[in-house]
Each structure stands twice: as C-alpha cells, then as structure tokens.
Amino acid sequence: TQLLKQSPQFLSIQEGENLTVYCNSSSVFSSLQWYRQEPGEGPVLLVTVVTGGEVKKLKRLTFQFGDARKDSSLHITAAQPGDTGLYLCAGEIIQGAQKLVFGQGTRLTINP
Amino acid sequence: GAGVSQTPSNKVTEKGKYVELRCDPISGHTALYWYRQSLGQGPEFLIYFQGTGAADDSGLPNDRFFAVRPEGSVSTLKIQRTERGDSAVYLCASSSLPNYGYTFGSGTRLTVV
C-alpha cells in the first residue's frame, strides 16, 4: 500500500515550460518534506512544510501544503535542464515519530 | 565530517553471505536513520537511532537484518544470509532534533548474486 502517491511518475518537458508535481495521501501528516535525488546520490532536502495551507518558495520552485495536511504540490516555473532529477515527497505521519514515509518519486527530465 | 559518509559505495556478495554496511553521520547529529531504496521506488524506513539506542526498528524486514550504533556516532547495518531480494541501495541519514529534514549519504548499492 502506497501511503503517499506522487503524480506524474515521469515527466519530460521542454526548457522554459512550467510544471506541477503532486503528492497525495489519505493520511494526515504533521510535516512534509520535498527532496531531489540525482543518480548515484542520496536525496537532498529542498523544503519542509508544517502548517496546513503553507506556501514556500525557493527561487523558481513553489511548494504548497494542503489545508488538511494530506497533500502537497511542487510547481516549477520556467524549467531549466538543471532541474532534471528525481523529486521525492516524504511525510511524517506522527509528530516526533522520526520516521518518514516516501512517495515513489517523480522523474523529471527538462530538454534543452 | 562535512556530510554523511557511507562505505562501501558498492558491494557485490553471493547469496547466503554476511555483509556489513557502515554509516558515519554528521558530527553532533544525535539521530541516525537507515532506509532502503529499490529501483524505481522511494526510500523505505528500516531503523532509527537516537544516540546509542534503536528507538524504532519497525522497518527491519526480518531477523536477518540488524543494526548497531555502539558509541552514538558510527552505525553498522548487518545483513545475515543475504538473499537476492536484499539487493537495493541502502541509505543512511542523520539529523539534529527536532527532525525537520535529513542529510542523506550517497548510499551503498548492495547486489546479491
């Protein structure tokens, strides 16, 4: 059973286009994190959101936590080839449990 | 060190053998985690240490898997009687509490042949 579902699983677009990746669950999360992973490397933390409705921006990346804290989205504006990678969302179900549940990832390819 | 260090980076072993995977966390990070990532999947939780003790080992798949962190720093994940299904990338991460983000190592790619 996949607690966190990411969509799409694969996305290939042209440089300069905008895109949104979704992370959905039927469970409530106390916090949610987004990571980016390159081949042969571990995931690198991009952002953590903890409050329902919270929006955080990181340059061209905008992260939103759903009001009910069950879902999140990552929006990239004017995508660049350097954005290529595997994007993972991960949620902490119980606050302080110190255990993250990861989605299966969205593999993003930005073509020049 | 500056980051989380995992050794070896690659390990090929024969079915039935014993393997040890090492993780050296960021200095001062009291929390240490092991995750396993299969091809095309997100990481799956194995075990979490707070200091020297395993605070949550609910993700270990069976009793062939064991992990230690005797001095509250370096951790070793031990797998006995390896099976082909154990093949995966084993990721270690550390954090300082409260947990609002891990720092992951580059992982150990384990291949059981």
Distance from CA of A67 to the nearest CA of B (A): 19
Instruction: Judge whether residue B11 has pLDDT over 90.
Output: yes
- For the segment(s) B5-107, the CATH number from 3.40.50.1370, 2.60.40.10, 3.40.109.10, 3.20.20.70 is 2.60.40.10
- How sure is the predictor about A65, in pLDDT bands with cuts at 50, 70 and 90? very high
Instruction: Find the CB nearest B106 among A35, A41, A103.
Output: A41
Instruction: Find the CB nearest B56 among A35, A99, A104.
Output: A99
Least confident of A8-12, A98-102, B17-21: A98-102
Task: Mark B37-59 as b/e (b = at least 16 C-beta within 10 Å).
Answer: beeebbbbbbbbbeeeebebeeb
Q: A24 and chain B: CB distance < 8 Å anywhere?
A: no
- How sure is the predictor about B96, in pLDDT bands with cuts at 50, 70 and 90? confident
pLDDT in tens, B18-56: 999 999 999 989 899 999 999 989 999 999 999 898 889
For residues A71 and A25, give the distance between their C-alpha atoms in angstroms, rounded to a whole number: 6
Asked if B106 and A42 come within 8 Å (Cβ–Cβ), the reply is yes
How confident is the model at residue B76, as a pLDDT?
98
Domain boundaries, chain A: 5-111
How confident is the model at residue B19, as a pLDDT?
98
Asked if A42 and B31 come within 8 Å (Cβ–Cβ), the reply is no
How confident is the model at residue A17, as a pLDDT?
97
For residues A8 and A21, give the distance between their C-alpha atoms in angstroms, rounded to a whole number: 7
Distance from CA of A101 to the nearest CA of B (A): 7
How confident is the model at residue B100, as a pLDDT?
62
- How sure is the predictor about B101, in pLDDT bands with cuts at 50, 70 and 90? confident
Coil vs helix vs strand at B23: strand
**Which residue is listed with tokens 């409705």?**
A53
pLDDT in tens, A25-61: 999 998 899 999 999 999 999 999 999 999 999 999 9
3-state percent breakdown (helix, strand, coil) of chain A, nearest 5 = 5, 55, 45
Instruction: Name the residue of chain A whose CA is nearest to B102's CA.
Output: A45
Task: Decide: residue A50, CB within 10 A, 0-12 exposed, 13-18 middle, 19+ buried.
Answer: middle
For residues B74 and A28, give the distance between their C-alpha atoms in angstroms, rounded to a whole number: 33
Asked if B107 and A33 come within 8 Å (Cβ–Cβ), the reply is no
For the structural domain made of A5-111, what CATH number should be given? 2.60.40.10
- How sure is the predictor about A110, in pLDDT bands with cuts at 50, 70 and 90? very high
CA nearest to B68, candidates B57, B82, B58, B81: B57
Asked if A99 and B48 come within 8 Å (Cβ–Cβ), the reply is yes
Mean pLDDT for B88-112 is 89
